[in-house]
Structure formats: structure tokens, C-alpha cells
Chain A
């Protein structure tokens, strides 16, 4: 999947298969387009620039975390602890910023990423050195990290009035005309794309997910790469946590509760195979965008709040089924003898 764009840089569209693969992201685009058309007929306010800015604002954090989740899923793992990591880092960073109000927001970001990397390292350690399956290790740290938030704060929240202005402006400020948080998410997406496609460690991630045994035999350092992926997941969650605390101007014991399932949903809707080995940044960004649009649209077309969750679940389910149907057909076209 990810090889697509780059391969196309070289020679354009001379290969039927490549065009079809590109079609795979197209399928999400088509779903998005249909949804946009339908919703804007019901409520023209949907098409306003402000509304799209809101949608982008809302999905920025999800994009960052879903990209982290994607890298983990490509290696055939899963990181269920992302929500708890965000909560814990948000709380710790919030505590520090409240204690040192004059601290630069940039330091807060770096601090959050550093704390996140430690949490991710613990996950990676359990998985690579301890032989604990990813789903179990991160299910355990889901509880542990969430519990640590409470241990840490003793149940206190950090509220918006306690936070320094500089920190609050971190996510919301828009010195370049576009809110920082959207810019940061976009930069992360580009960096992850470059990392996955144009560095050896990035390619190793796909290699491991595609065939772990063969990767080991082929001389890929599976342990180190896997460890690294969980650390990256922690780092990106740390970044997301700081942005979260800044955007919502609070750190609570239940911050980002249940976010792990949202991030997995965004990845899966974005065409990342839960069986590992494939997935692209563009797909995941589109997947998160689709989820954002669904949530936004359900409010705008005034669906009863009681039906919103059901509709959301149904749409996600449909997206996954449609996507798998399309990709299965693609594989047949792809020339299976």
C-alpha cells in the first residue's frame, strides 16, 4: 500500500495493479464524498469553512494517535493503552505547567513526549523482552496507566483557570492562520509518511508485519524495531496528550477514556489490515476524517442523540465491510492464479 505513491513517483500508472491499489484509498474518498453531499443537502451549514475547520480541529488528535496505532498494527500488534497514556501524560504535564507557569509550551511538548516514550518503552519491553502478547500487555497497562493517573493526582483535576495562557494557546493559537493543532497533526502525518516509506526502520515495520518469521531470517532486527514502534506510539501519545490538555484546557482522571477503540477504529476504517503488513498514512488520515465527518454530520442533520451512537457504530461497520469487499475484489484482480 505504502509503496504506491513512491513507486508512482518513478513511472506513472503503467501498472494496472498500482492504479487499483490507489483505488483502495479512493473508496474511502468516495464514501466521504457521498456523505458530504448527503449531509450538505440536509443542512447547508455543513459545507461552511468554519465547520470543516471544526472537523479538522476535532480529528487532529485522533489523527496523531491513529497514526501511532497504525504503526503498531502494521507490526501485527495493538496498543490498547493509548487512551491511558494520553490521560497520564496530560495529567503529569498539566501538573508541571501549573507549577511552572512561565515554562515555555515547547518544553511542555517535549516533556510530554519524553514521558510518553517511557510509557511506550514499558509496553515495548513487556512485548519484546517479556514475551507478552501485545493485546495482553497493553490491556494490562491500560489499567495500570489509568490507575496511575489517580495515584498521581489523588483524584484532583487540573482546570482551565489554573493553566497558564501560553500553554492554552499552544493548541488553539493560529499564528500562521491555521490553528497550531491542525498544523502539528499535518506535520506528524507527513513525517510518519516519510518515515514509513523512506527509511529502513520504517520499511522494517512493514517487513515484520508482513511475515515476522521471514523478517527475522532475513536479518531484520525484529526485537529492536518492535520495541521502537511501541516507543514511537508512546511519544506520539505524549504529544497528543499535551495537545489534548491544551485544547480542552483541562486534565482529568478520565481524560481520553476509551480513546484506544477510537484510534483502532480510525486505522481500520482507513484500510489498515488488522492482520498486519499493510496500511498507509493517507488511508488513516482519511479514516479519521470519515469518523470526524460522521460525528459532526449526525449532529448537524439533527439525529436524536440517542440514535447517534447506534448510527455511528453502523456506519463504521458498513465502512469496514465495504472496504473489505473492495479489497478482496482488488486482490482477485491483482492476478491470483
Chain B
């Protein structure tokens, strides 16, 4: 009797686990592929094993971030045009350690090319080198791998341009005078830090003499933290007129904070964001203007560049020129980077023309 009931309990437990974990059958690695299917439904089908067709991997900083998902759309578009397969995979969190583990597994599979948005420009150099030594071309996009760790870098816009356009926008919004603050991503984010440097340089120019940058705070690309930081800014600096947030998470959070605090028209938010996220705030006046390049184009271009290198059309040296489908032709610059183009400024007039 006891044994029977104990057995019953065991069966129940297994049933429970099976019910709950039907897609992720726990310890049994044999069934692991099932997880792959379920765990990444947005992911494209596994690399085709057709002979001749190349398989590239498009690696974001972290999975589950819309910006990168949009970039992936462009990458997939390019893949379709080129007749290659592009897999989208990356670390669970935007963390260099985990990203390296993912990359090592990809290098081990001997994929035909890697297109990476780096969590840490230096940390990925050894891994990138390793890949290139194994005959796998490496292109970084969005956030660069330092030179030596990649064949080429696809730059969304030159850092200086990004810095300048944001200062211009904020100056316009606040009427050329007053206190502003910057709400950045994590304090270690290389892109943002570079842009902020350029913003500071730009702000030293005489035409911005009346604008005072009071502080730089970090929202860690977390919605809650960014939101609270934005409120903190308004509280700490009652005369604050503008917030620049050069990150898609931060700008939306800041705009919402302005709205919630009923400071629309007193404090203006600008920076880098996606149209879908920002549409409401553009219309409400919390963030009348912001900028961004099209991330899909960025992904699109990176796959074209990667393909050009992988198929031997170019070597990836400065001065090499390649065709990138609908975007036209691009040349690799002196520092090994390719420039996508100037960022688009979105405002009430054009916001409804975009959907990403």
C-alpha cells in the first residue's frame, strides 16, 4: 500500500513536471532540441545544410531587446536577397561573458561568418581573433569590437554625428538656453560613452554657451531604473529644461516620466529612440523630436558586408568597396569601419511614416 501511494506520488510529480515543463524536459539532454524550437520561436529555421549556401550568424548584445529584433529583420531581408541563411542567436542577458560562450559555441560549429554587436569592445577581441584564425570572417555592427578582433565594423552613423544631432535637437527644444541632463544606458556602454564625449565637446561651442549640462545619470537600460532616474533628475534640478537619452530604453522611460509628472512643455526629452515606442510622446509633446538610424538597415548592411568578405569579393581592407543591395555601394574607411549614413530625425511631421 505504502509503496503504491509513494509510486503514485512519484508519477504525479513527474506528471507535474511534464505538464509544466513539456517544452523543456529538464535534465534529459536528448530532448534538448525541443527546447531550441520552443525557446526561440522568433528565430529563423536552423541553418540549411545545402551545399554552397552559406550560414551566417547574427549576434545581438542580448536576446529579447526590440532594437536588435528590428535589426534582425533587416539581416533576414539581406539573407533572402543573397540566398544565404542567417541565424539569430545571442546571450540571454547583455553580458560579455555570456556572449563569449555563445560565440565559442558558434565558432565550434564552424559557421561561415559572424555579425556581432559587442557587449565589450575589448573582451571580444580574443574571441574574434580566434574566429578569424579558424577562417570565420567577423563583422561587428552597432557596437564595435576593437580593431584586431574583427574584419570590419558597420557603423550606424559616425559617433560625432550622433552626438551633434542630439545637441542640436535639445538646443532647438529648449530654445538655446537652460539646464540639460543626460540619461544614459549602463555606465560601461561604449557607444553611449563615446557619444556623450562628443556631446560634451559640441556643447563647448559658443552657440551653446547658455546651455548647462548638469549631470549624466545611468538607467542601465532598465525601464524601471531609467524611469526613476528621470524623475530624480527633475526633482534634483527643478529648473531642468531638457533630457537627452541616447538609448531607446531610456528615452521612452524619460518621456513617460515627464508625462507622469505633468511637466510636458517644461521639460523636453530627446535622444535616440524607435518611432513605435516614441509615437505617443511625440504627439503629447513630451519628446517632440528624436533621432535614430534604421536598425533594420544596419542589420541589412552588416550581412551584405559579411557576405562580401566571406565570399572573397573583398578582403575587408580599408578602401575596399562592396555593393549592399537596396542601400547601394559602400566603402570601408581608414579605421576599418563602414558608415551607414546620417541618422534620421523623427518629429510630429514624419513619425507616422515609420513603423519599427
A-side residues, CB < 8 A to B, are 43, 45, 50-51, 54, 58, 122, 125, 129-130, 144, 147, 150-151, 153-157, 159-161, 172, 244, 248-250, 252-257, 295-296, 299-300, 302, 305-306
18 pairs, CB–CB < 8 Å, chain A vs chain B: A45-B238, A58-B228, A150-B39, A151-B38, A155-B40, A157-B64, A157-B65, A160-B256, A160-B280, A172-B260, A248-B227, A248-B253, A248-B256, A254-B93, A255-B223, A257-B93, A299-B235, A305-B217
Known: A129-B13, A305-B187. A50 touches B235 (CB 8 A): yes
Output the nearest chain B residue to A150 by Cβ-Cβ distance: B64
**Residues B97-144 near A (CB distance < 8 A):** none
Is there an interface contact between A151 and B280, defined as CB atoms closer than 8 Å?
Answer: no
Is there an interface contact between B42 and A45, defined as CB atoms closer than 8 Å?
Answer: no
Q: Supply 16 further A-B pairs (C-beta < 8 A) apart from A155-B64, A156-B66, A299-B236.
A: A54-B231, A54-B235, A122-B16, A151-B23, A151-B41, A153-B64, A155-B69, A161-B280, A248-B224, A250-B223, A252-B223, A253-B64, A257-B93, A295-B228, A299-B229, A302-B236
Give me the 5 closest cross-chain CB pairs, A-B, nearest first. A253-B64, A299-B232, A155-B64, A154-B42, A154-B41
Is there an interface contact between B66 and A154, defined as CB atoms closer than 8 Å?
Answer: no
In the assembled complex, which residues on chain B have CB atoms less than 8 Å from the CB atom of A154? 40-42
Is there an interface contact between B222 and A257, defined as CB atoms closer than 8 Å?
Answer: yes
Instruction: Give Cα A51–Cα B232 distance, bound, in whole angstroms.
Output: 9
Q: Within 8 Å of chain A (Cβ to Cβ): is B276?
A: yes
Chain B, 214-244, contact with A by CB distance < 8 Å: what is the 0/1 string?
0111100011100111011101101000000
Q: Within 8 Å of chain A (Cβ to Cβ): is B279?
A: yes
Is there an interface contact between B232 and A155, defined as CB atoms closer than 8 Å?
Answer: no
Q: Within 8 Å of chain A (Cβ to Cβ): is B24?
A: yes
Instruction: Give Cα A157–Cα B218 distance, bound, in whole angstroms.
Output: 21
Output the nearest chain B residue to A50 by Cβ-Cβ distance: B235
Q: Within 8 Å of chain A (Cβ to Cβ): is B8?
A: no
Q: Within 8 Å of chain A (Cβ to Cβ): is B32?
A: no
In the assembled complex, which residues on chain A have CB atoms less than 8 Å from the CB atom of B342? none
In the assembled complex, which residues on chain B have CB atoms less than 8 Å from the CB atom of A125? 16
In the assembled complex, which residues on chain B have CB atoms less than 8 Å from the CB atom of A151? 23-24, 38-39, 41
- Rounded to whole Å, the gap between the CB of A249 and the closest CB of chain B is 6
Most buried by B among A58, A130, A159, A244: A159
Instruction: Give Cα A171–Cα B24 distance, bound, in whole angstroms.
Output: 34
In the assembled complex, which residues on chain B have CB atoms less than 8 Å from the CB atom of A295? 228
Which listed residue, B39, B64, B256, touches A252 by the CB 8 Å rule? B64
Is there an interface contact between A130 and B13, defined as CB atoms closer than 8 Å?
Answer: yes
Which listed residue, A147, A161, A254, A305, touches B216 by the CB 8 Å rule? A305
Which listed residue, A160, A250, A254, touches B64 by the CB 8 Å rule? A254
Is there an interface contact between A155 and B235, defined as CB atoms closer than 8 Å?
Answer: no
In the assembled complex, which residues on chain A have CB atoms less than 8 Å from the CB atom of B23? 151
In the assembled complex, which residues on chain A have CB atoms less than 8 Å from the CB atom of B348? none
Is there an interface contact between A161 and B279, defined as CB atoms closer than 8 Å?
Answer: yes
Is there an interface contact between B238 and A253, defined as CB atoms closer than 8 Å?
Answer: no
**Residues B37-82 near A (CB distance < 8 A):** 38-42, 63-66, 69
Is there an interface contact between A161 and B16, defined as CB atoms closer than 8 Å?
Answer: no
Instruction: Give Cα A150–Cα B9 distance, bound, in whole angstroms.
Output: 31
